[in-house]
Chain A
Amino acid sequence: MSRFYYYLILINMIANIISAVPTILLYYREDGAVSALIVGAMLGLVIVVIYTKFFNAFPGMTFPELLVKTMPKWFYYPLLCFMAIMWFVAGASTLITYTFLLIRYLTPDIPIILLGLTLIVSIIFGCFMKTDRVLYTIEIIFLINFPIIIFIIIKAYTSKSLNWDFIKAAMLHVVEMPNMNVITACIFLSLGVVNLVIFNRFFTQKQNFGLKQIMVVAFISIATIFTTYFIPIGFHGLKSIEEMIYPWVATSDSMRMKFFLIERLVYVFLLLYLSMAFLSILIHWHVAVELFKFVFRLEKIKYKDIPIGYLIIILFFTAASLFLIVTLTEYQLFQYSKYFFNLTAVNFFGMIFLLFYIARRMKGAKDSKN
C-alpha cells in the first residue's frame, strides 16, 4: 500500500490517545474492558480490511462519485449530509478535548474562546486545500513528530515506575463479558481507514493489499490499543485510575527524563500531541468540507457574483465548534463522545452492506458496458 494510506490509519489511532477514548476504556476497566478490547480490535480490523478492499477496487474514485453512479438521489443526498456532519463532529470532538487540555495544563490564563479560535483558524484554511496537498502536509508534520512519539512510548515501557503487577491484575479482568461502549470506542480507533471516502481520490493506482499489509495494520492496531489501555494502569494503578480526567496526560506527567533538556515530559507530550490533534482535525474536516461541497454545491452559491459558499462553511464550522467549546462540560464531552462512538461503529458496520451493493452495481455496469 501507499505510505499515505498508513498515515491515515496511524494518525487516527495515535491522536485518539488525547481524545475521550482512553477515558472511556479505563472507566469500564472492571466491567469487561479487556475482553472488549480484543473484540474491538478484531472488529476494527474487519472494517479496515473491507473498506480498503472496496476502495481499492475503484482506484481514484470518491464515495460520492460511486454513489452518484449507483444510487438514487433521494438516497445519497441525506446519507452524504449525515456523513459530513459526522466527520465534522469527529473533528470537533478532538478540537474540544484538546482545547480543554491546553487550558488546563499549558495556558491557563488565556480565555478559552481565544484559544479555540486560534486552533480553528490555523486548521480551517487547511481543510480547503486540495486532497493531495492535505496529504503532503500530513506527511511532513507526521514524519517530524512520529519518531519522538515512539520514543516517548518506548520510554514509558522501559520506565522503572511502570508497575507490571498492576497491568497483570488488569489483564485478569478478561474473564468478564465484553462491554459495548468499549468495543465501539475501540472500533473508532480503527476508523481512520474510512477517510478513504474522499482520500481515495489520491490513490489513482490499484494498490497491493494482501496478507502482509493486513498483518502490518493488525500489529499497529493491537500495539496502539494495548498501549492506550495498559500504560496508564501501570503508572497509576487499577482501582483509582478513573479519577484521572485525562489519563494519558497524567501518565506523561509521571514520566521523567532526568538528563533530557526538559525534565517534565508532559510539556513535550502536549506539544507533540498538539500537532497530532491538528492532523487529525485536518483530516476529518477536510472530508467534511469535501462532502458538504458535494451536497450543497458550495462553489455555485453566490451573492452579487461573489462566491460565498466557502465562507458559509467556515463560519458554520467556527461558530458551531466555538459554541460547543464554551458550553460543554467535561462530563458532557465524555458522555457525548461515548454516544458518538456508538453511532459511528453502528453506522460504519451498516454501511458495509451498502458497499457490497455498490460493488455489485458497479460490476454490473462494467459488464453491461463490455
Chain B
Amino acid sequence: MLKTVKTKFFILAVISSLILLSGCGEFKDIDKMVFVSMIGIDESGNPDKPYKIILKLYVPTSSFKQNPAPEYSYLIKEGLTMAETISLLESHIDKELDFGHSKLIVVGEKMLQNQKNKVILDFLIRRPDIQMISYFAVGRPNAEEIVKFAPAGETALQPTIFNYFDNSGAETSYIVTSFLFDFRRRMKEDGISPILPIVEMDESKTHFIINKSIVLEEDKPPYELDSEKTLLVKLLSNDAKSIFYEVKRGDELFVTRLDTIKPHYTVDIKENNKVFIKVDIKLAGIITESKNSLRNKELPRYSKLLDEEMKEKVTAVIDELKREGYDPIGFGLRLNSHTLPKNRMNDKEWLAAFQNANVEVKVDSSLKSTGSIQ
C-alpha cells in the first residue's frame, strides 16, 4: 500500500518537474547586461532638468589582441531626478545596466557649489547595487569631460583613472582618496569635514592631473586646497605613506624623502572654553637633492631645518583652515571622542570654537642619510 503511494508520488513529482523545461526567465545572461564603469553627475543649467547623468559603459571585446585601444560608449541624459533619468537611459540601450562594477563617481564642480551633494549622496547610498567603496571625486571643469576623457597610454584593460586612487599604481601623496562611505560619514557627522580630490586634465589633454582637493562644509562655498596644502592635510590625517618635502632655509635648499610619518594630535578644552590643539609629528627620511654639498655629520642640523620648515608650513595650513572654518582632519571629532555626550558641540559651535583655537605644532624629525653622496 505504502509502496504504491510512493511510486505515485514519485511519478507526480517527475511530471511536475517538466514545467522547468521551459527554462527560467529570471536570470539574465552576461550578454544581456552592460557594465557601467563610472558615473558622472553634472549640473545642466536647465532648472526643469537640473541633473545631467553621464554613464561610461564598457564595450565588450572578444580579446585584448583584437582591440588593444580602449573603447567605451556613453549614455547622457538630463532629468529632474537621478533615478528616473537612469531608468529612462535604460530605454536607450538594449541591455540591462549593471552598476555593480562602477568604481568611480565624478561630480561636476558646479554641483558642489550649489550644495547639491546631499541629494546626490542620498541617491548613491540608497541604491544597493552601487558600491560603497567606489571612489568619489570632483571633476574640473565638469564631470562629463572627465568621464569621457581617455588619457594617452590607456589600454582596453581598465580605465587608468582608477589606478590614481588605488595607491597600488601611483603612490603619490598628493592624491586624496575618498570612498563613497567615507564621504557620507564626513558629511553627516559633527566635527569632520568632507574632503574630495579634484580631477583635471593637463593642457595638452593627454593626462589626468589629480593633486588638489576641495573641502566642503554645510552652508558654505567649497574651499579649494592647492597641492602643497593637500599634502599637508593628508600628512596630518595619517594618510601619507611617503612624501618628498622641500626645505628652503637661509642658503640651504634641499629636498627630503620622508618615509616614516607619524602624526599625532590631541584636542582639549582648557580654561574659559578655549580649544587647545597640540600636533606632534614624527618624521624620518633621507635627503635626495641639494643645492650645496652636504656633510654627513651635520645631519642633526639639517633635521632641525626640516623641523622649522615643516612647523611653519603646518601651522600656516591649520591657521588657514581655522580662519576659513573647515575641518577636514577631524579635530572636532577627536574632541568629541573624549567629551561626554551632553557637553558635545555640534558642527556650527565647533567651527566657531575652532576659529579661536590655540594651535601648537611640534615637529621631531631625524634625517638618516644624505643619500649616496655627501
Tell me whether A256 and B133 are in contact (CB under 8 A): yes
The 0/1 profile, CB within 8 Å of A marked 1, for residues 161-199 of chain B is 000001010000000000101101100111000000000
Number of A interface residues in the complex (CB < 8 A):
37
Chain B residues whose CB sits within 8 angstroms of the CB of A172 once the complex forms? 337-341
State the Cβ distance, A235 to closest chain B Cβ, in Å: 7
Name the one of A243, A258, A306 contacting B2, with C-beta atoms under 8 angstroms: A306
Tell me whether B337 and A237 are in contact (CB under 8 A): no
Residue of B nearest to A105 (CB): B128
* A111-B26, A172-B339, A240-B189 known; A254-B132 Cβ under 8 A: yes
The 0/1 profile, CB within 8 Å of B marked 1, for residues 143-186 of chain A is 00000000000000000010111101100110110000000000
**B interface: dominant SS:** loop
* A104-B128, A165-B336, A305-B1 known; A254-B133 Cβ under 8 A: yes
Name the one of B26, B133, B188, B340 contacting A253, with C-beta atoms under 8 angstroms: B133
A114 on the B face (CB < 8 A) = yes
A239 on the B face (CB < 8 A) = yes
Tell me whether A114 and B26 are in contact (CB under 8 A): yes
Tell me whether A169 and B181 are in contact (CB under 8 A): no
B333 on the A face (CB < 8 A) = yes
Chain A residues whose CB sits within 8 angstroms of the CB of B2 once the complex forms? 305-306
CA–CA, A176 to B181, complex, Å? 29
A78 on the B face (CB < 8 A) = no
Chain A residues whose CB sits within 8 angstroms of the CB of B185 once the complex forms? 163, 166, 235-237, 240
Interface residues of A in 231-272 (CB under 8 A from B): 235-240, 243, 250, 253-256, 258-259, 263-264
CA–CA, A253 to B130, complex, Å? 10
Tell me whether A254 and B26 are in contact (CB under 8 A): no
B270 on the A face (CB < 8 A) = no
CA–CA, A263 to B184, complex, Å? 20
Name the one of B181, B189, B338, B340 contacting A166, with C-beta atoms under 8 angstroms: B189
The 0/1 profile, CB within 8 Å of B marked 1, for residues 22-33 of chain A is 000000001000
State the Cβ distance, A313 to closest chain B Cβ, in Å: 17
Interface residues of B in 311-343 (CB under 8 A from A): 330, 333-334, 336-341
A110 on the B face (CB < 8 A) = yes
B129 on the A face (CB < 8 A) = yes
Name the one of A109, A111, A163, A237 contacting B188, with C-beta atoms under 8 angstroms: A237
Residue of B nearest to A246 (CB): B128
The 0/1 profile, CB within 8 Å of B marked 1, for residues 82-123 of chain A is 000000000000000000000011001111001000000000
Name the one of A30, A169, A239, A259 contacting B337, with C-beta atoms under 8 angstroms: A169
B5 on the A face (CB < 8 A) = yes
Name the one of B181, B190, B333, B339 contacting A254, with C-beta atoms under 8 angstroms: B181
In the A-B complex, the 7 residue pairs with the smallest Cβ-Cβ separation, listed nearest first, are A168-B337, A240-B188, A237-B185, A237-B189, A254-B181, A165-B337, A253-B132
